[in-house]
Each structure stands twice: as C-alpha cells, then as structure tokens.
Structure 1
C-alpha cells in the first residue's frame, strides 16, 4: 500500500525514500528551509573567516537564460539556485538545519543540474569546478563521547581548465580558530580546497548539453547510518560507487550542537564567472 501511494504521487514517485519522510523540498513552494551558510562571528561580521564571508543566500530561480527565456525546474517553474561569485575558486553553500530523534539510517535524494553563467557563446564545460553536498552531524547530549561527523562529497568537474569529472571526499578540515574575545566561539573551514581525496573508481561523465544554456537533470542518492556514523551508499544516475574506503571529517563534539542533523549543498567556480548549482527537489528520509 505504501509503495502504491508513493508511486501515485507524481512529486514523490521519482524518489526511493526510506519508511519515514523527514522533509520533501519542492522549490515551487519556496526555499523549504535552505538558507545561506553563515560563518561564525562574534561582535563584528569581519571576524568571520574569509571562506564563509564570500557566501550569499540561495535563490529561487526559473533558470532564465538569454537565448530562449527560461528552463524552469524539472516539474515546475522554480528550482533552488546556489550561485558563486565570479572569481576563480569562489564557492557558495546552502544549508538546511534539522535535529534528529532516532539514530538510524537516513537517505538524501535530489535532482540537480549545474552550469556556468552563460556569458560566452561556447560550451564552457570546464568553467564549473565542482558541485557537492555535505552533512554536519553530532550525537545527543547523552552521547558526549561522540565526535562531530561531517561527510563531504563533491563532483570535481574541472580544475584549472582541465576536465576531470570524478567524485571526491574529505577526511580533514582546517585548524580551529578562535572567534572574538569571549572564548565561546571557534571556526574552521571544512570546505577549504585542500584535502580532497579521490573516491575509488569515482570517474563519471555526467550529461552536459551542447550549448552553454541547456540543462539536463541528474539524480543523486546518499545513504548514511546515524547509529554507526558511517556512509552506506552513493548513487548518481545509473552508477553506484564503492564507499568501503570512505570516511568523514571527524572532530570533537561541540557543547551546543546535540542531535544536529544539517545538510549542505555547494558549488565552486573554476574561472572568473559565476557557477550555478540548480536543485529541483530534495527528499530526506529515514527509519525514524
């Protein structure tokens, strides 16, 4: 009965959710809780680390372009747009903040596409450096010995003008820096460009259409177990990847982040033009 109900719903039937849907984000209904990743600061915004100071708010977009008007989303007029600044290596991150009530498997599914800003009349297939996602997790206050765990995955599309097209992950973040003078806040740049590792057999050629304004939507699914704090599976379109060697960034638990269940989406540009990550819809589910 449950499967029949899911398949009868055009919005949900494109996903394969676990038994309980935590959130279903269809961006024709608004931002659905996705907001700017603001870096830690205290007393003055200038205390924010530079990596975070470059971030801006995610937008709702019709995927407008100059030659034919608008694409719209995959099944509506709008998608979530995460846009970088027009500077080589610039990035932007959108985040959705939850807490969890049960430590079990969770599933993160989305349909996405990416493009550089179409300022040139050529394909520009190496202008987007990467797109990716991350989780930011921490156990409950009775699990005080747990770490803060941050799985990161990105699709490295290009680097310094060279087409790469492979999945990567991170195990390390930058060192902690105190923010302000009250000894209450620290910060670290977990999306700094250093430290990315290749996922074994992680090469994949995604659909990237023939001119700089055409887009095709791509499916992504990531499974993670909150009980063991380990990744279970990664799927992108028709490919399933080996995560046996995968690990997450792990840092000591922080005193005010209990039961944290955050999700992030990001884009990076490789050239002096904006890179756009568009997300049509996101389904987050689990065995809660």
Structure 2
C-alpha cells in the first residue's frame, strides 16, 4: 500500500459498493440493504404503563421493510447494484408519515458525514404519473452532547426535507426545521417525555433550495438520488448539504434545539422519513447509507 494514500481510499477502490460514497476517515456504518436491515427499525414513540400514552404522530409509524421494489408491469426494479432496498411506507392517508431510525452513540465529537442513495414514489395504483402524490421525504439526526458538557447542554436535531408537493401542486424545494415543539410528559414517574418533531408546521425554506429531481415517466419507474449531509458534532452545526449535482448554501441552516435530557448522552441517531399528500401510500426507498466521521 502506498504510504501517501489514506487507507480508506484503498478500501474504497477495493469495494465497488463503497466507492460510490465519499466518506470521511472513519466509516461508522455502511448499510447496504442487500445484507438485511442493518440496524434500521421503526421509530416507536415513548410510552409508560400504556401504549395509548404514545403521541398520535408516533402511533402511525410502522416498521420499514426490505423490498425488491416490486410493481405490476415488469416485476421488480431492485436496488442500485442488488436486489433489496429499505422501504419506508406511509399509511394510505394524506398527511400520513413514517420513519425509519438507526440508533448509535458517538465516541468523538467531530465532523460526521451522512451519505445515501434514495428514491421516492407513491404506490402505483393508477395508470398515471402521480408525481405530486408524495408530499415530502427527508432525514434527520437526533444528537446530544456528552455527559461532561456542563450547564446549557443541548439535544440537537437537524432536520432536512424535500417538499415535493402540497395539496396536489408541485413545490420541489428543500426545507429545514429549527422551531421547537411542545414537550409532553409521559406517565407519572417523571422519567419519560415525548415530542413529535415531524409535525407539519415550523418548516423553513433553505436558501436557494429549489430543485427539480428526476421523476421518471410512468408510475413504476424510479431513479436513485445521491444525498450528502455534513455536520460538526463539536460545534453542533451543519457544514455541507448536497443532492445529486447541487451543493446548497447552509449558512442559514439551523437545528431544533432543546435542553439535554438526563439519559441520552452522546446520542447519535439518524432517521429517514416519508410523507403522503394523497390517500395513497408513499414510499421512500434507501438503497444504501454510509455514515462516516473524523477520528
């Protein structure tokens, strides 16, 4: 191995699946869903004593599925380079949402990079394009500083979504959320709280965030999109956002911030979500996800 070439670059060239990403020096997780769920699961809302204590936003969520992107006219679409993708499917109701999450902790409060290949479609139940049936898709981090942070420690939740359509009309722009939401106590022991941070209000337009994504000509065709989001865990600030060939100005981006919680130190959760605009299921598919960081 040449001494002047980082070891991670040699690994990239040896692994075609990984070489389509541009990771930082340490790969924290590389999830290709041909290998299974890779730790991604349903975002379950907090509860205590009774499942009905869960906030309604969380109660609508269901587990993600492994999918070959099956459809009625040609069988299965498959992933970028394999058979399976992770499918995040909403219920068939306008405004319905669903979320898949991976729960980690971090060992160094430095730069991290999230990269993914994704695509979105409504369920193909009609012989028409249905390009405005998906309201939005997006991703978020749920982060908290380490337990030595001291006074003023925060839980920080960067959110980014592509608002594809609203009330049947194309919008096609990226948005972020920093508006805090009500925190609701759960149960009677003062141990559990909850807040539904994906509620439809409070989203703000990303500066210059208009983008027209590839959406193919019939309701069963898909094209994969590249996403990259960089975040500094030390400064708790976004440093880069890219979708396909577009790099966006994130100088005005901020995250939802609330006081740190007593049992979530060093939390590093990442989630993807989908939202329907009609009474038809909306799908977000993840072919592969790479989370990397600096040492």
TM-score scaled by length of structure 1: 0.99
1:187 is aligned to 2:184: no
Partner of 1:80: 86
Q: Retained in 2: the 8 A contact 1:27–1:280? A: yes
Conserved? CA contact 1:107–1:221, under 8 Å: yes
Q: Residue 14 of structure 1 aligns with which residue?
A: 20
Unaligned regions of 5+ residues in structure 2, if any?
none
Counterpart for residue 42 of structure 1: 48
- Whole-Å Cα distance in 2 between the matches of residues 236 and 74 of structure 1? 17
> Quick one: distance in 2 between partners of 1:144 and 1:166?
38
Deviation at 1:173, TM superposition (A): 3.0
Match of 2:184 in 1: 177
1:199 aligns with 2:177: no
2:180 and 2:93 map into 1 onto residues whose CA distance is 23
The correspondence for 2:258, drawn from 234, 251, 256, is: 251
Q: CA deviation at 1:8?
A: 2.9
1:254 aligns to what SS in structure 2? coil
1:48-63 to 2 correspondences below 5 Å: 48-63=54-69
Identify the match of residue 247 of structure 2 among 240, 257, 271.
240
- d(CA) in 2 for partners of 1:159 and 1:266? 16
Alpha-carbon distance in 1 for matches of 2:189, 2:236:
32
Partner residue of 2:231 out of 201, 224, 236: 224
**CA deviation digits over 1:26-76, x for unaligned, max 9?**
000000000000000000100000000000000000000000000011110
Counterpart-to-counterpart distance in 2, 1:176 and 1:22:
31
User: Alignment partner for residue 152 of structure 1, among 159, 184, 189?
Assistant: 159
Q: Using the alignment, how far apart are the partners of 1:40 and 1:172 within structure 2?
A: 21
Distance 1:186 1:107 in 2: 29
Aligned to 1:275: 282
Q: TM-score, normalised by structure 2?
A: 0.96
Check the 8 A contact 1:173/1:191 in 2, yes or no. Answer: no
Considering only aligned residues, what root-mean-square deviation do their CA atoms show, in Å? 0.7
CA distance in 2, matches of 1:87, 1:182: 35
Check the 8 A contact 1:147/1:252 in 2, yes or no.
yes
Q: Does 1:111 align with 2:111?
A: no
In the aligned structure 1, how far is the partner of 2:57 from the partner of 2:94?
Answer: 13
